[in-house]
Amino acid sequence: QQQVKQSPQSLIVQKGGISIINCAYENTAFDYFPWYQQFPGKGPALLIAIRPDVSEKKEGRFTISFNKSAKQFSLHIMDSQPGDSATYFCAATRNQGGKLIFGQGTELSVKP
């Protein structure tokens, strides 16, 4: 019930393409779903986040789509760039904060 499942494990996209990473959760008590971006040797950096009362949130080239009934959410990176090459983690939490439950991570490589 506490797990967040993320796919794919790795993803290769051409420059200018759309990168899509998916996550699924079981615990309906989760009330906050962030995405983090991590470069080698660095800590995870918050990219974008959504709450379950919203079906979509867009910030620049990054969009979260949220399907509450299916208990799934996804990250879309439009016009992917080589600089987007990193590991992406979805996460979930409940009770207005507290511990983040992370997905397993997706290693994204954007080819020039």
Partner 1 sequence: GAGVSQSPSNKVTEKGKDVELRCDPISGHTALYWYRQSLGQGLEFLIYFQGNSAPDKSGLPSDRFSAERTGGSVSTLTIQRTQQEDSAVYLCASSLLAASSYEQYFGPGTRLTVT
| Residue 33 near residue 64 (C-beta atoms within 8 A) | yes
100 contributes a contact to partner 1 by CB under 8 A: yes
Which segments of 9-100 does DSSP mark as H helices, in order?
none
Of 21-29, 53-61, 75-83, 103-111, which segment contacts partner 1 by CB under 8 A?
103-111
Q: Which residues ranging from 14 to 53 are in contact with partner 1 (CB under 8 A)? A: 32, 34, 36, 41-46, 49
CA pair distance 78, 27, nearest whole angstrom? 29
Entry field: residues in the chain: 112
d(CA 56, CA 67): 9
Minimum distance of partner 1 from residue 92's CB (angstroms): 11
The residues in 76-95 that bind partner 1, with binding defined as CB under 8 A, are: 89, 91, 93
DSSP-derived 3-state class of residue 65: strand
Minimum CB separation from partner 1 for residue 84, in Å? 19
Residue 104 found at the interface with partner 1 (CB under 8 A): yes
**Closer to partner 1 at the Cβ: 51 or 68?**
51
Both tokens of residue 106? Answer: 């997706």
Q: Which residues bind partner 1 (CB under 8 A)?
A: 32, 34, 36, 41-46, 49, 89, 91, 93, 96-105
